[in-house]
Amino acid sequence: MNRVISVIVNNKAGVLNRITALFLRKGFNIQNLTVGVTDTPGLSRITIVMNDTDASALEQVIKQLYKQIDVLKVTDLTDQPMVARELALIRVNSPVAQRAVITTIIEPFRASIIDVGRDSITIQAVGRTEKIDALIALLRPYGIKELARTGLTALARDVATVTEARRVSENNVISI
């Protein structure tokens, strides 16, 4: 089972290195990792996706992360309501005659063409990992020249929104 961990850290040189070294020492594989600044100056959010990790290993990772001096908060988002997205940039072979077909393929994915060359186009897609994988599979027969993926980044959903959604869904249940 994939685990998604959100880590708030001080934005200092070497912090990312210490965190990834921790994973290396413990033998845990990082499936993907994203880092970005937060709205609070001096803080960054690291989103880590670990694959095939059981609950005891995850607990060990969280405890080890809290021992790091620049780690301020660790949240396991795996079982929480969350919003998670990935960005992919895909440069595809696209002679002028095929562009209409490719445009038709990417439209249901809400992907967009962000650059056009003589023989290729660059497509931007944002969404869940499964959606990005499906789009790549459909574009592969046309010839993918380059591919860049950000990896998953995630935030927990607002508690009030989750509570309201549950209340509405419970009220819509028809008892027989």
What H or E segment, with its residue span, contains residue 103? helix 99-106
Q: Give the phi and the psi of residue 138 in degrees, each rounded to 5.
A: -75, -30
Domains and CATH numbers, the chain: 3-80 (3.30.70.260), 83-156 (3.30.70.1150)
CA distance 107 to 150: 21
* First-to-last C-alpha distance (Å) of the chain: 36
> pLDDT tens track of the chain, all 176 residues?
789 999 999 999 999 999 999 989 888 889 999 999 999 999 999 999 998 778 888 888 899 999 999 999 999 998 889 999 999 999 999 988 889 999 999 999 999 999 999 999 999 999 999 999 999 999 999 999 999 999 899 999 887 766 676 666 666 655 45
